[in-house]
Structure 1
Amino acid sequence: MIHSVLESVMTANGIHSINRLHRLFFKLFAWGIMGFVCAQTAYAVPVDTKSYDPASGVVVKIAGKTLVMGWDTPEGSTELTLNLSGKGALVRSITVAPGNGKPVEVLRDIDPVTILTVGQRDLKKRGGWTIFFDRTSRKPSESGPLTLKLKSAIVRSVGRRCIVELDGLEGQSFSGKLRFTLYAG
């Protein structure tokens, strides 16, 4: 089909028109590839806000690849911005504003560090009821970092609290969620 279009253009308008047609097809192809790449880089994990209640005192907004949460404090207000793209630092920023003043950025582009220690307990010794006194520091254990491979986010409210759970925290024999609990007021 394209070949027959090229032949008819060539016979009607000469070789110059074929070059323009080639450039047009190349531009359309390039724009299609760029659109696909942009769609892939704009991807953010799904955010479930069905259990979120604005009456919690924490304002939640989804802005592109970020989750922005703001709340009032006795001294002013605080805002936490999380990066949901799965690329780059998780905490985009934390800002604090005194009273009605201008917000001041106190943290930018950081990743929370979580270390998991797996060890042994001795429940047989002392009948198990004094487990609090078990000397775990003298028993074999293994520690290692957990990494967040972001899969989804859930925002829910419980009273005056807003809980953000980020699924995809993994390491050693553990898999679970990283949780932020925000208290309004």
Structure 2
Amino acid sequence: MTYAEVGATRHALPPGYRHIQRTEIIGTGADTFQRAGEALDHWTVHRAAGLRVLASGPANQPGVDAVLLLGTRRLQVSAACRVVYAIQEPNRRGFAYGTLAGHPETGEEAFLIHLGDDGRVTFSIAAFSRPQRLAARLGGPLTHAVQEVITSRYFSAVRRLAAGR
């Protein structure tokens, strides 16, 4: 891991990093929760968001290594990460991965699907990061914009997948 605060997305995000915290309602009911959870468990949300995923196993297994690829083969960003924890509860499913050497950033990102008592299904992302590679540091606002675009793509993808589309 390239950072000391492994697992910190479970609680308050650590200082000294850029933070992302976003939660949205993605539907209602147990079927929606189940579809969204399965899509998250098998990297389907990430693939539907436009990333190529090369993983040693499902996202719901701590210790699984993955490389997330964005872009074309000529201009491609490669992000190596490892699943640091997974949540498999009756009304909560998700996981977090942390960065490995070679990732452009250093930090952690968590993805959580929650079925509320009122039947609403929410999707949350919590992340903390800072540039690790020179290109990410030089990218500044562009790096942040790419992060925001990918985060929005995750939400669009999970909404579609949870609805069965």
What's the TM-score once normalised by structure 2's chain length? 0.30
The structure that is strand-richer by fraction is 1
Ranked by relative contact order (alpha carbons within 8 Å, sequence separation 6 or more), the top structure is: 2
The structure with the largest alpha-carbon Rg is 1
What's the TM-score once normalised by structure 1's chain length? 0.28
